[in-house]
Structure 1
Amino acid sequence: MMPTLFISHGPPAVALMENSTAAFLRSLSEHLPWPEAIVCASAHWEAWRPMVTSAAAPATIYDFGGPSQLFQLRYPAPGSPDLAGEILALLAKNGIEGAADPDRGLDHGAWIPLMMAFPEADIPVIQVSIQTERDAAWHCRFGEAMAPLREKGVLVMGSGGAVHNLEEIGGYALDAPPPDYVLRFDEWLAGAAAGGEVDVLLDYRNHAPEPDRCHPWPAEHFLPFFVAMGAGRGVRARCIHQGFMYGTLSMAAYIWE
């Protein structure tokens, strides 16, 4: 059974960095069986209903600013129209209406960490959108609908941020220590995930410390966590990386095995 995964992808320039999080992302494949395909729910694709990339050769999307070196990178992983159709069928079986998008490529929430983890770009990659009008419980259900893919060696991965507050990021250097509120949320998340406290996690706005500060509306970087949790069938998660960037970004990663 393929595990499911949530990673904090950080800024696009992580691909050019040499720090603990960059090293973790480059070693990510060591934590997993080799995937037959990857389905990524990225914080950077929002839609009113689940959309699924169906291109045979999805483009690399440069949805960011930053150093010119980033725009010279490309991740030519194949897509899989057949897998896209299978995902839509699983969603429909679970009462979720989705649609294929043959023109959408891979945004940086998907291709940057995957390029670091699987640089050969030889594993088919499908992206699915998140729905910021929907809550954590809905995204968990979305992930659970895709859980059968794990039996076929498909990695379901959420890509976002364990703590993601861009409103306050300007006051911190890249290697600045996290403020107290970030640490407290990060510790709370690790404890609840390790304890398999599904109901507490789904109701994080009433249980987590300063949830709206750690994930300001629409919390798009946290919703992929619940997709991965749902695909993992809510079992206890194991934290496989902890770290921080710019103080307000937790780079924590979790695996459901």
Structure 2
Amino acid sequence: MPALYLSHGAPPLADDALWPGQLAAWSADLPRPKAILMVSAHWEEAPLALGATETVPLVYDFWGFPEYYQVAYTAPGAPELAESVRRLLTAPGVTVQEAPERGLDHGAYVPLVEMYPAADIPVLQISMPTLDPRKLMDIGRRLAPLRDEGVLIVGSGFFTHNLAALRRGGIPSWSAEFDDWGHRALDAGDIDALLDFRHKSPAGALAHPRTEHFAPLFVTMGTADTFGELDTHRSVIDGFWMGLAKRSVQFG
């Protein structure tokens, strides 16, 4: 299976005129996954935690959009995938914990509603135990064998993310500059620059004042590194949504 990093939007994405169709077209162009492993910007927990392995209620981890509290996504749980993840990640001194009541958050289900609306593919979400890019790449490398088993690994974040700095109308210069830099760094395979994006990119601190929305990219990049794909990515979705870069990329 390919590995993806996608910008997941927010609950109102469902009402956008363009983006849901882009996500649907992307999934239609992919092989059908046996299961989906989601790494979302909205779940940080250490040690790394495995989410629910059976269908439980979603996590409505947002406010200001009460009309979207009725959204449901009843995908099957993925206990076999959870066991494979546990096997791949457990090592001396490394603990993998269980979070059996933790449902999918909006970083997981918002894009999945558009990509796989039938909700008939097993989904497992795992937490990010760190925001360190190098450590996240290592987690991705260790998870990479799942791709040979038909698992779609998805890092879900946002290519730029600073809600406090947005202004009504238009695309902020910091968002456009970071998106352009990130696109060129990916195209050039400049992994060192990406790993140190807070210092080596223009407007990095503004584009990501906190780095959790860029961090899932490094899990995806780790799986790509295992298969020698870091220089073969393609941007499937680009452009901006409410001033934020929605760049989403595929490896493999």
Fold shared, TM-score > 0.5 on shorter chain: yes
Three-state SS of the structure 1 residue aligned to 2:19 is helix
Three-state SS of the structure 1 residue aligned to 2:250 is strand
**C-alpha separation between the residues in 2 aligned to 1:75 and 1:99?**
24
User: What is residue 106 of structure 2 aligned with on the other side?
Assistant: 108
**C-alpha separation between the residues in 2 aligned to 1:88 and 1:34?**
23
Instruction: Report if the CA contact (8 A) 1:55-1:104 is conserved.
Output: no
Q: CA deviation at 1:203?
A: 1.5
User: What is residue 252 of structure 1 aligned with on the other side?
Assistant: 247
**C-alpha separation between the residues in 2 aligned to 1:212 and 1:235?**
25
TM-score (norm 2): 0.92
Instruction: Report if the CA contact (8 A) 1:109-1:159 is conserved.
Output: yes
Q: CA deviation at 1:58?
A: 3.2
User: What is residue 240 of structure 1 aligned with on the other side?
Assistant: 236
**The 10-residue stretch of structure 1 (225-234 or 3-12) with the greater mean CA deviation from structure 2:** 225-234
Indicate the RMSD between aligned Cα atoms, in angstroms.
1.7
Query: Structure 2: where are the runs of 5+ without partners?
Result: none
User: What is residue 201 of structure 1 aligned with on the other side?
Assistant: 194
**Are residue 180 (structure 1) and residue 164 (structure 2) matched?**
no
**C-alpha separation between the residues in 2 aligned to 1:94 and 1:40?**
25
Query: Structure 1: where are the runs of 5+ without partners?
Result: none
Number of equivalenced pairs: 248
**Are residue 37 (structure 1) and residue 35 (structure 2) matched?**
yes
**Are residue 227 (structure 1) and residue 219 (structure 2) matched?**
yes
Deviations 1:120-140 (A, max 9, x none): 0000000011134x4111111
**C-alpha separation between the residues in 2 aligned to 1:68 and 1:47?**
26
Instruction: Report if the CA contact (8 A) 1:58-1:77 is conserved.
Output: no
**C-alpha separation between the residues in 2 aligned to 1:93 and 1:231?**
18
User: What is residue 81 of structure 1 aligned with on the other side?
Assistant: 79
User: What is residue 53 of structure 1 aligned with on the other side?
Assistant: 51
Deviations 1:33-86 (A, max 9, x none): 111100000011111221111422132221122444312220000111121121
TM-score (norm 1): 0.91
**C-alpha separation between the residues in 2 aligned to 1:181 and 1:60?**
33
Q: CA deviation at 1:244?
A: 1.0
Once the two structures are superposed, the pairs formed by residues 60-75 of structure 1 within 5 Å of their partners are 60-75=58-73
Q: CA deviation at 1:95?
A: 6.7
Three-state SS of the structure 1 residue aligned to 2:165 is helix
Out of 104, 126, 147, the position equivalent to 1:150 is 147
Instruction: Report if the CA contact (8 A) 1:141-1:230 is conserved.
Output: yes
Q: Which residue identity does 2:71 align to in structure 1?
A: L
Instruction: Report if the CA contact (8 A) 1:42-1:160 is conserved.
Output: yes
